[in-house]
Structure 1
Amino acid sequence: MKTILVIGGTGAQGIPVVKALATNPEYTIKIITRDTTSPSAQYLTTLPSVTLIPGTPYSEPTLHSALSNTDIVFANTNGFALGEKAEIYWGIRLYELCRQHAISHFIYAGLEYGSKLGNFLPKYRCGHLDGKGKVVQFLSAQPTEPMKWSVITSCMYMEALWEFLRPYPDPDADEPGRLVFAAPLGEARCPLICLEDYGRYVRWMVENAEQSNGLELHVATEDVSWEELAATFSEVTGKRAVYKDVTLDEYFSSGIFPDPEAKIGGKEAGRDDATLMSYRDNFSGFWNTWKDQLTQRDYLIMDRVLPDRVRSVREWMGLVGYDGGIGGC
């Protein structure tokens, strides 16, 4: 039996990781959570061999206790709660603590280092991307023994099409019921990842530690333009939809964020922390990174790692019964 500690296990990315790992009867899984009574935490307790640990993963006493008698760690830190500075600190500190506790394999949930990919031009500055990207740079400089390390670098998840990427009724439509997929993307093809597959990629890393040791695996389901997204949605659902390319100002005026000037991570760090970015500044860099197509993925590697992966937005929509509404499975 191997014991796996999952940090960030009750979040959107963490839940499919726990579900994928729980399919192997040789694993026991521990999850640190602030709220053991939350719906997501309670759902995870219905899975085989899952135990909840009350507390915050950003507390060394909690981490020391959780890391005791643990073999493998999957860590997905929450940049939106922490802010970039604290996310860098805790990403590095988690690695150090895992080395201290003789963990055999440390797997980190990374994101694209947009600033570096964009030659550090300010238009690409995005704290929640860059924070994880800087931790990945640190990990890449570490030895692969005595503790193995792996990175899974992801992108926007398809399930966000039920959330902040979902379409809305077109106020300018000349036909009733037409929907709009709006984004400041121009003609760019943007990567999206099916979260169920994300969890299975992590399980592959655990089960193939020698192959995944020292690997940064960039994962996605498909690079897709929003014009293709709207057309695919119409074909799959029978509902008319169009793509509207919007400016960043139009995007932030749409109400997607109640207060675009609010600071990301302000609750944890304090709103006077000068390193915190506003939602407007952060997501301007975020969308510019995707619009200018700074990132690359190797789909042949993904096909070898997960031969039965979901291959397209169209396939995902059919599998989950996507209809453009709020929520979903």
Structure 2
Amino acid sequence: MGAPLVTVLVIGGTGAQGQPVVKELSADGRYKITVLTRSAQSEPAQELASLPNVTILEGETFDEQTLMKAFKGIDATFVNTNGFAIGEKAEVYWGIRIYEIAYGAGVKHFIWASLAYSSKLAHFNPDFHCGHLDGKGKVTDYLTSQPTDHMAWSVLLSAPYVDTLSQLLRPKPDPNDPSLMVFSAPLGNTAMPLIELGDLGKYAKWMFDHVKRSNGMTLKISTEHIRWADLAKDYTAVTGRKSIYRDVTLDEYFASGAFPDPELKVGHSVTHDDPTLQTYRENFSAFWRLWKSGLDTRDYKIMDEILPGRIRSVKEWMVKTGYTGEPGRVLKDYIDRERKKTGWPLLG
């Protein structure tokens, strides 16, 4: 008989980031995966349920009794909480609390899905306070103060998804020349990191496979840092369609319809009377300020070592996926919820 399968609980497994992680673990054959989700009947949950060694557990992520039951008999876990659903304050609380429950349940390896700690990188300049980045960043800071002997911990620190070039970041036809595709962002000439979701799943699996090395590690991943002007050139080279990059101000960005109501509070699953919740304008102004500042850096040498076959450029991703700039669906959860509440058409 072979070695018993490693039992893994994935929290956030039906989301854009969690799905490739579950798929990588399932394809390996050495892991038995449980995905905790609110609805076992959702399309992503049903797709994952069809994979080998994957079980869907229906329940509320942000409930202690549910979590205590879910972590019974679990060897390792990948945790990706949704700050767009619950807001920064609750994400900090639940990130820490989920760690504590996993620790008490005897889990051997805890992987936290994180993002750049925006305001900390800028020495807590309030102009850089981005809730959906900083909530995860604060939990990362908490983890780095924890022991690594009783339960190994690892942080997978991602970046904006390359895949959202088919959604939130996709090009749009110029109003005066529909044949010209325009990539718009308040980014200036700064290169920002983007990560391809398939490779994100592979990095997470590497952490599960190499616990001794990934224990206590914060691995910052990216496909490449790319300037938007180069993004437009790559798009033209791959598709043959004319395209340009148009640098815009933050006011122009929000006026362009990036969000139907920039004053709406981030946190679609909670009441909006919480004064700590940011508006989309506040959140995404800080988001773009971070990338424009150039403060976020990545070590591509270690990424090449860990994942030699990784996609190394956005252009390579475009070729591999047959990218055309046409609409797609990546960040389905929070966009669909906001669309239902505001009448906002799905971006993509």
Bin for the TM-score computed over the shorter chain: over 0.9
Does 2:44 correspond to 1:43? Answer: no
Q: Does 1:52 align with 2:56?
A: yes
- 1:119 Cα deviation after fit: 1.2
One of 224, 238, 241 as aligned partner of 1:239: 241
Counterpart Cα distance in 2 of 1:139 and 1:76: 14
Matched, 1:69 2:73: yes
Residue of structure 2 in register with 1:291 after alignment: 292
Asked if structure 2 preserves the Cα contact closer than 8 Å seen for 1:322 and 1:328, the reply is: no
Percent sequence identity over matched residues? 52
Measured in 2, the distance between the counterparts of 1:38 and 1:229 equals 34
In structure 1, distance between residues paired with 2:269 and 2:151: 34
DSSP-derived class of the 1:149 partner: strand
For residues 266 and 16 of structure 1, what CA distance do their matches in structure 2 show? 24
The Cα shift of 1:57 comes to 0.9
Structure 1 counterpart of 2:200, one-letter code = Y
Looking at structure 2, the residues matched to 234 and 202 of structure 1 have their Cα atoms a distance apart, in angstroms, of: 32
> Which of residues 120, 125, 129 in structure 2 aligns to 1:125?
129
Amino acid at match of 1:271: H
**d(CA) in 1 for partners of 2:96, 2:30:** 29
d(CA) in 2 for partners of 1:238, 1:328: 23
What SS is found at the alignment partner of 2:27?
Answer: coil
How do 1:1-329 residues align onto structure 2 when only pairs under 5 Å count?
A: 1-173=5-177, 176-268=178-270, 270-327=271-328
Tell me the TM-score normalised to structure 2 length. 0.92
1:327 shift after superposition: 1.3
Which sits farther off after the overlay, 181-190 or 36-45?
A: 36-45
Do the aligned partners of 1:266 and 1:276 also contact (CA within 8 Å) in 2? no
Change (3 A) 1:326 1:266: closer
Structure 1, residues 93-146: CA drift from partner, whole Å, max 9, x if none?
Answer: 011001100100000001110101001112111000010000000000001111
- 1:328 CA drift (Å): 7.0
Moved over 6 A (4+): none
- Structure 2 stretches lacking a partner, 5+ long: 331-348
Q: CA deviation at 1:177?
A: 0.9
The one-letter code sitting in structure 2 at the alignment partner of 1:292 is S
Report the residue type matching 1:278 in the other structure.
Answer: T
Q: Which range moves more in the overlay, 203-212 or 50-59?
A: 50-59
Q: What CA deviation, in whole Å up to 9, does each residue of 1:22-61 have, x standing for no partner?
A: 1121111000111111111111111111000111111111
Q: Distance in 2 between the 1:194 and 1:101 partners? A: 33
Question: 2: distance between equivalents of 1:317 and 1:153?
Answer: 23
**Which SS does the other structure have where 2:24 is aligned?**
helix
Query: Per-residue displacement from partner, 1:178-206 (whole Å, max 9, x unpaired)?
Result: 11000000001010000000000000000
- Shift, 1:266, TM fit: 4.7
CA distance in 2: counterparts of 1:47 and 1:256, whole angstroms:
35
Deviations 1:278-325 (A, max 9, x none): 000000000000001111110000001001000001100011110000
Q: Which runs of 5+ in 1 are unaligned?
A: none
Say if 2:167 and 2:329, in contact at 8 Å, map to a contact too.
no
Q: Report the Cα distance in structure 1 between the residues aligned to 2:298 and 2:269, rounded to whole angstroms.
A: 34
CA distance in 2, matches of 1:229, 1:46: 36
- For normalisation by structure 1, the TM-score amounts to 0.98
Kept in 2: contact 1:6–1:75 (CA 8 A): yes
**Using the alignment, how far apart are the partners of 2:102 and 2:11 within structure 1?**
12
Does the residue aligned with 2:179 lie in a helix, a strand or coil? coil
- Residue 243 of structure 1, CA deviation: 0.3
Conserved 8 A contact 2:184-2:245: yes
Partners of 2:56 and 2:25 in 1: CA distance: 15
Question: Cα distance, 1:248 vs. partner?
Answer: 0.4
Give 1:172 deviation, angstroms: 3.4
Q: Distance in 1 between matches of 2:148 and 2:159?
A: 25
Structure 1 counterpart of 2:162, one-letter code: M
Equivalenced residue count is 326
Q: Which residue identity lines up with residue 152 of structure 1 in the other structure?
A: L
Secondary structure, counterpart of 1:141 in structure 2: coil
